[in-house]
Amino acid sequence: MTSRRNHFNFINITLIIKIATLEFINRLKYMRLFVFILSFIISVNIFSQESVEKTDTSSHSPNINPTLNITRITSKITIDGKLDEPVWQNLAAATNFTEVEPGDNIKPPAKTEVMSVYDDENIYFAFICYDDEMSKLRANMSNRDNAFSGDFCGIIIDTYKDEKQAIEVWSNAYGIQGDAIWSSGGYENFSFDMIYHNEAKIYKDRWIVEFAIPFKSLRFPDKNVQEWKVHFWRNRPRENRVEMSWAKVARDEPSWMKQAGILKGLKNIKKGSSLEILPYVIGTKSDTLNSKSDYNSGLTNDKLKGDFGVNLKYGFTSNLTGELTYNPDFSQIESDATQIDVNSSSAIFYPEKRPFFLEGNNIFDSHVPVVYTRMINDPLFAGKVIGKMGKFDIGYISAYDERTQFIVPEYTGSYLAFNDTINIKSFANVFRLKRSLKGEDYIGFIATDRETSEKYNHSKGYNRVISFDGSVNFWKDFYTRWQVLGYFTKELDLPELNSDPTTFGKRNQHTAAFDGESYNGIGGMFQIDRQDEFWRFGVQYFDNPPETRRDLGYVAYSDFRELNAWHNFSIYLKSGIIVRMHPNINGGLKFDYNGKMKEQWVVPNIFIQFKKLINADAGFLAVNNENYKNSELRNVHRGWVNLNINTSNIVRGGAFFEMGKYIVRFTDPDPSYVGFGFSGEAWLTLNLFNRLSINSSYNYFELAKKAGGEKLYTGYIFRSKASFQFSKNFFLRLVTQYDSFSKGFDIDPLLSYKWNPFTIFYFGSSHRLLNSELNSNETKLVQTNRQFFAKFQYLFSL
């Protein structure tokens, strides 16, 4: 709870900042309006803090870093959600949960209890989630990791008590699993998968979940007596999305895991099986057009092809794991959703989905994306080591890539250079070392190296990046985050891959073409920010020299120095239809390395959370000036509104709409100019009954030379995914998508059975259809390629 002294400090600091910046702000066009908005936000925020201070908490005293002692058992536990074994009857339970959202550590609307024991192989948890409104329970049978929109509960375990990383293990009221990796700063990676067992059962006045988490699925210190930090968490969406925690979570404490409870009593536990073998076999049959220039030439009748591969994982210790893979199958069960990029100047960033790269990938994260594993495109073999050695996190990846691709950055953006007909091989190596300091603080080192070669003209090249990074918390609420990077590049001499004549460097002595040049550069970033319950702000500086190349990372732009800042306010309301508001304002300046102004922007926006699980946000590009391809483009204003409605468990959806001025970026060699356009997106989820869900989205974008003028382009993408869940492990899924830009229609059915996240069987197909012109007035959809596939992989633990 904020003290009155801190309350007045907040007022004084805010007024000082306002007075100090007022003269500068008044010199900028449109800024007087934002001074008024900022003053109003501060006033409302101060009033809101008064009301929070007066909240009556006398009837509820939340647990502060509570402790739960657990014991070893020798009897057997059946995971069925019934709790009918004698061992559960007389255990001490974690109780006295507190509501942390939307209430601020107040008495929750429902009671929750958690019990825990362990044996030689597993640690067990039992959640008893009482509820006097069981008719309003939200739960659906769904695929793994798709159950977070309803009632769910789970455990967040920090086995090293270093507040840097934790494993999240979840279940909904039907026993649908969900897991993730939590990292300091609040980042969650839900692509992570681990093996654990759980079952749930629904009763008249409660629902119960039993968990069994194998010790071999966890990493923990190699010592006889263990103490783990743990959060027990429950989500209960009704009038609001109520989040309940066993431990008090204060909004003015930036470190979430620092506030966790303690699990004691674990003694002499071992990781167990240290070798895992995951072989797979796959069969495919692919048919393509007989003639790529003739859509009506018919499909080939290719032969059935088979392939196999294997993945080996070995636990050297309970802290350190090694993994090798040969011929990994990275065919994704679900393809990436197509993104509209017709007016984008940067390469599209797609999230990593491939299983080999997902485990432990948070170790390789840094403030600047030095490691983007999707740049290892098609490895024949790969290996990695991840884990912990004392206070050090360590990660190493090595791979041999048979189909290498490049992101080529320029001052106007970046693009992907890739050619299937050119045989470019590469060796990729990534090394990461992080030294833990107190709390969430750390210092780290990253080195990446990609050596490329092209066999026909024996061209060779490399890209090497060395980076030092860190984060330090001081004065409780303040953080500094920094990173220094060195770039060392020798290009392939291969103009067939890329002959872009764009020049860069201090004297424009280099070209973006692959012509065998060598160049080096130094860049980095620095950030200082304050994180508090009511007021957050930060200042950030980026430095990307013209020589920036991160062949194993992601780059949107090069040749710039950028300074940006933001203010964010939190306003919690006790009554009415609004639960909380987050108004904020951010702005920045960007220069090229010659000191020329490239961009200026100021963006106020606001997020509002309403009751009935509705939220909205809106914003406006109030100042948006850019020098693009030597064209001075000013007053590129536009605004947007975003809405999400999750009131009903049967129908959920939302929409996004943006309209205003856009820079027309595809006019080369003509000068760029400012056009007028709008983009819209709508999404809808239908849970028609307990086992069937349909997720649909519609994305539209239109750009004209001016408002009401000649249209430069217009188009949309419609995507729908229908899933029928026969059981927790067995489902049928159909993805359909129509892209009006390419006039292409995709159909992807899939039948899948998962014994666990790694032992799976699936059978499916993919079909691509394009519009073919029969005559000037008639078109038809013609299938241009199709593929049928079946895959089986099985996890052996030895």
User: Per-residue pLDDT for 34 more than 60?
Assistant: no
Residue 634 within any structural domain of the chain: no
User: Per-residue pLDDT for 19 more than 70?
Assistant: no
Residue 750 within any structural domain of the chain: no
User: Per-residue pLDDT for 361 more than 60?
Assistant: yes
Reported as a pLDDT band with limits 50, 70 and 90, residue 338 is low
User: Per-residue pLDDT for 115 more than 70?
Assistant: yes
Over range 414-431, report the average pLDDT: 90
Residue written as token pair 């209890």: 113
Over range 59-84, report the average pLDDT: 94
- Tell me what pLDDT residue 775 has: 52
Residue 606 within any structural domain of the chain: no
Q: Give residue-wise pLDDT tens across range 238-278.
A: 989 999 999 999 988 888 999 999 999 999 998 866 789 99
Q: At 578, list the tokens.
A: 């609004």
User: Per-residue pLDDT for 599 more than 80?
Assistant: yes
Question: For the chain, what is the mean pLDDT?
Answer: 87
User: Per-residue pLDDT for 46 more than 50?
Assistant: no
Residue written as token pair 């998962």: 754
- Specify the higher pLDDT residue, 458 or 411: 411
- Specify the higher pLDDT residue, 145 or 353: 145
* CA atoms of 653 and 409, how far apart (whole Å): 37
Count of structural domains, the chain: 3
Reported as a pLDDT band with limits 50, 70 and 90, residue 777 is low
Residue 11 within any structural domain of the chain: yes
Q: Which domain holds residue 425?
A: 341-569
- Tell me what pLDDT residue 705 has: 92
Which of 569, 594, 622 terminates a domain? The answer is 569
Q: What is the DSSP letter of 318?
A: S
- Tell me what pLDDT residue 331 has: 58
**Coil, strand or helix: which one is 474?**
strand
**Same domain, yes or no: 83 and 13:** no
% of the chain surpassing 70 pLDDT: 89
Over range 73-79, report the average pLDDT: 94
**Same domain, yes or no: 95 and 25:** no
- Specify the higher pLDDT residue, 455 or 300: 300
- Identify the bridge partners of residue 401 per DSSP, sorted by sequence position: 379, 426
**Same domain, yes or no: 384 and 492:** yes
Over range 741-746, report the average pLDDT: 89
Q: Give residue-wise pLDDT tens across range 380-408.
A: 999 999 988 888 999 999 999 999 999 99
**Same domain, yes or no: 14 and 71:** no
User: Per-residue pLDDT for 24 more than 90?
Assistant: no
- Tell me what pLDDT residue 337 has: 58
Q: Give residue-wise pLDDT tens across range 184-243.
A: 877 888 888 899 999 999 999 999 999 999 998 998 988 899 999 999 999 999 989 999
- Tell me what pLDDT residue 717 has: 94
Residue 494 within any structural domain of the chain: yes
Q: Give residue-wise pLDDT tens across range 672-701.
A: 899 999 999 999 999 988 899 999 999 999
Q: Are 719 and 337 in contact (CB under 8 A)?
A: yes
* CA atoms of 295 and 782, how far apart (whole Å): 7
Q: Is the peptide bond before 669 cis (omega within 30 degrees of 0)?
A: yes
- Tell me what pLDDT residue 273 has: 65
Sequence-distant (≥ 6) Cβ neighbours of residue 630 within 8 angstroms: 671
CA 707 to chain centre: 36
User: Per-residue pLDDT for 294 more than 80?
Assistant: no
Q: Give residue-wise pLDDT tens across range 322-333.
A: 999 998 876 555
Residue 539 within any structural domain of the chain: yes
Which of 569, 595, 619 terminates a domain? The answer is 569
User: Per-residue pLDDT for 6 more than 90?
Assistant: no
**Same domain, yes or no: 170 and 45:** no
Query: Which backbone phi and psi does 374 adopt, to 5 degrees?
Result: -70, -10
Reported as a pLDDT band with limits 50, 70 and 90, residue 27 is very low
**Same domain, yes or no: 88 and 213:** yes
Whole-model pTM: value is 0.84
Reported as a pLDDT band with limits 50, 70 and 90, residue 431 is very high
**Same domain, yes or no: 262 and 361:** no
Sign of CA dihedral 31, 37, 40, 45: negative
**Same domain, yes or no: 76 and 47:** no
User: Per-residue pLDDT for 335 more than 60?
Assistant: no
**Same domain, yes or no: 234 and 350:** no
User: Per-residue pLDDT for 29 more than 90?
Assistant: no
- Of 37-46, 423-432, 469-478, 787-796, the poorest mean pLDDT is in 37-46
Reported as a pLDDT band with limits 50, 70 and 90, residue 52 is very low
User: Per-residue pLDDT for 116 more than 50?
Assistant: yes
Residue written as token pair 């009506």: 296
**Same domain, yes or no: 160 and 34:** no
Residue 362 within any structural domain of the chain: yes
- The domain that contains 126 carries what CATH number? 2.60.40.1190
Sequence-distant (≥ 6) Cβ neighbours of residue 667 within 8 angstroms: 673
* CA atoms of 194 and 178, how far apart (whole Å): 9
- Tell me what pLDDT residue 776 has: 55
Q: Are 269 and 118 in contact (CB under 8 A)?
A: yes
Reported as a pLDDT band with limits 50, 70 and 90, residue 434 is very high
**Same domain, yes or no: 346 and 446:** yes
Reported as a pLDDT band with limits 50, 70 and 90, residue 48 is very low
Q: Give residue-wise pLDDT tens across range 494-549.
A: 988 888 888 888 888 899 999 999 999 999 999 999 988 888 999 999 999 999 99
Residue 557 within any structural domain of the chain: yes
% of the chain surpassing 90 pLDDT: 64
**Same domain, yes or no: 29 and 114:** no
Half-sphere exposure of 47 (CA within 13 A, CB side): 8
